[in-house]
Amino acid sequence: MAEIWGEPAPQPLAGNGDDTYYLNMGPQHPSMHGVLRLLLHLRGEEILEAEPVIGYAHRAHEKMAENRNYLMFLPNSSRVDYLSGMIYNLAYCQAMERLLGIEVPERAEHIRVIVSELNRISSHLLWFGTFLLDLGGVTPFLYAFDDREEILTILERVTGSRLTYSYGRFGGVTQDVDALFVEQTLAFVARLRGRMPDYHALVSDNVIFRHRCEGVGLIDQATALRYGVTGPCLRACGVPYDLRRAEPYGIYSRFDFEVPTQPAGDIFARYLVRLAEMEQSCRIIEQAVAALPAGPIMPEKQKKRFKPEVGESYFAVESARGHFGIYIVSDGSELPLRLKLRTPSFANLSAVAAVLKGTMIADTVAILGSVDVVLPEVDR
């Protein structure tokens, strides 16, 4: 089939006798959350080897960046990982600000933190709901999307968008926030805190869910570091690495928050880390709102043409899935000579092949879902 579509046929995996067989899982499979194909080599229901096959939705974002000026690429940034669209959009702005030497007003810095953390919670809520739906739990999905809807309403009012945001500008943000935004944001934080006991009672303490997740899909520290795993998947195996704390950007160094970790490295540990991260995002939001100063949201003198000096720059942020980095090479023109994106899902998915080996096919959906891969940033 691959040859019919003009693709190179995948190389056969090493055989282990006549009692083994191959199974394609995806790319049209509801649990893939995108066009991912897993080529599984099985003996009975045990996975002997797994090969992720990507590239079905490649959109050439990096090449597009090199054929547009810096400002024209701005809307693309939120479409690399659409679930962390706000974080990615602002990360690109911050990368350019470092390259151009632009100072961001204090009010804009605080607004950026607030909307980014709301976006992080939104991403984790969508993961929580769809992960449980993959495992057969409909009620948690409905609860999570009910809460997520509140975030989308808040962000839509200030940005005009509900998913793929282009709210950032080089030097600030497009629109100021008002008292109603602050009121709605704090009300949501209180709402989510009130919902957490329900989530834990409904899911965390569910014996069926725990038996499905505990001790399954282990990612140990050695495997995580070898593959460059970051984000909740890394912190779930005991490594307290979070760019907001390890390499603070923006004004994150001013806020008091914890980096949640779990030692087990299994599915349940990744689940617990993400739930704990939502609470920490609420803490950051409350502090940013309390310290929100008056003032402008853009620099007084704004450039209309952006031509960075010859050189290169790398800027990284902590997205909902991990370390997202932007490497820009400037030749002094209005177009970047090279723009390279380091996306967390690509590295995290690479580790899945090692994690699936030796597991049962019935656990594949749970393991892949717990890693929280977003295919558009893999096929970028």
| pLDDT of the residue at 29 | 78
Q: Give the pLDDT confidence of 306-324 residue by residue, as tens digits.
A: 999 999 999 999 999 999 9
Residue 48 lies in a domain: no
Residue 196 lies in a domain: yes
Residue 37 lies in a domain: no
| Among 133, 261, 275, 268, residue whose Cα is nearest residue 212 | 268
**Percentage of residues in the chain with pLDDT exceeding 70?**
95
Residue 33 lies in a domain: no
On the question of pLDDT at 6 being above 80, the answer is no
| pLDDT of the residue at 14 | 54
Q: Give the pLDDT confidence of 204-216 residue by residue, as tens digits.
A: 999 999 999 999 9
Q: What is the CATH number of the domain that holds 154?
A: 1.10.645.10
Rg (CA), the chain: 21
On the question of pLDDT at 253 being above 50, the answer is yes
What is the C-alpha separation between 304 and 115, in angstroms, rounded?
25
**Percentage of residues in the chain with pLDDT exceeding 90?**
87
| pLDDT of the residue at 26 | 80
| pLDDT of the residue at 1 | 39
SS3 of 344, please?
helix
Residue 229 lies in a domain: yes
How buried is 38 (Cβ within 10 angstroms: 0-12 exposed, 13-18 middle, 19+ buried)?
buried
On the question of pLDDT at 23 being above 60, the answer is yes
On the question of pLDDT at 330 being above 50, the answer is yes
* Total domains in the fold of the chain: 1
| pLDDT of the residue at 59 | 85
- For residue 378, give the DSSP letter: H
Residue 55 lies in a domain: no
Cβ contacts of residue 347 below 8 Å, gap of 6+? 227, 228, 229, 230, 322
First-last CA distance in the chain: 24
Could you tell me the pLDDT band of residue 28, with boundaries at 50, 70 and 90? confident
Residue 56 lies in a domain: no
| pLDDT of the residue at 372 | 94
DSSP codes of every residue in 119-151: HHHHHHHHHHHHHHHHTT-HHHHHHHHHHHHHH
Using the structure block, give the residue that is written with the tokens 């959350």: 33
Tell me the average pLDDT across 347-366: 94
Q: Give the pLDDT confidence of 257-308 residue by residue, as tens digits.
A: 999 999 999 999 999 999 999 999 999 999 999 999 999 999 998 888 899 9
Cβ contacts of residue 319 below 8 Å, gap of 6+? 81, 84, 87, 88, 91, 120, 231, 344
On the question of pLDDT at 16 being above 70, the answer is no
Tokens of 150: 């509140």
Residue 19 lies in a domain: no
Q: Which residue has the higher pLDDT, 178 or 6?
A: 178
Using the structure block, give the residue that is written with the tokens 């996306």: 343
| pLDDT of the residue at 3 | 43
Bridge partners, 360 (sequence order) = 46
What is the C-alpha separation between 92 and 249, in angstroms, rounded?
13
| pLDDT of the residue at 133 | 93
| pLDDT of the residue at 12 | 53
SS3 of 9, please?
coil
Residue 62 CA, distance from chain mean position: 18
Query: What is the residue-averaged pLDDT of the chain?
Result: 93
Residue 12 φ/ψ, nearest 5 degrees: -60, 140
Judge if pTM exceeds 0.85. yes
Domain containing 244 equals: 61-378
Instruction: Give the dihedral sign, CA 327/51/241/115.
Output: positive
In this predicted structure, which of 27-31, 116-120, 290-294 has the lowest mean pLDDT? 27-31
Q: Give the pLDDT confidence of 220-230 residue by residue, as tens digits.
A: 999 999 999 99
Tokens of 40: 């599984």
What is the C-alpha separation between 292 and 176, in angstroms, rounded?
12
Q: Give the pLDDT confidence of 186-204 residue by residue, as tens digits.
A: 999 999 999 999 999 999 9
**Residue 120 CB: number of other CB atoms within 10 A?**
27
Q: Give the pLDDT confidence of 125-158 residue by residue, as tens digits.
A: 999 999 999 999 999 999 999 999 999 999 999 9
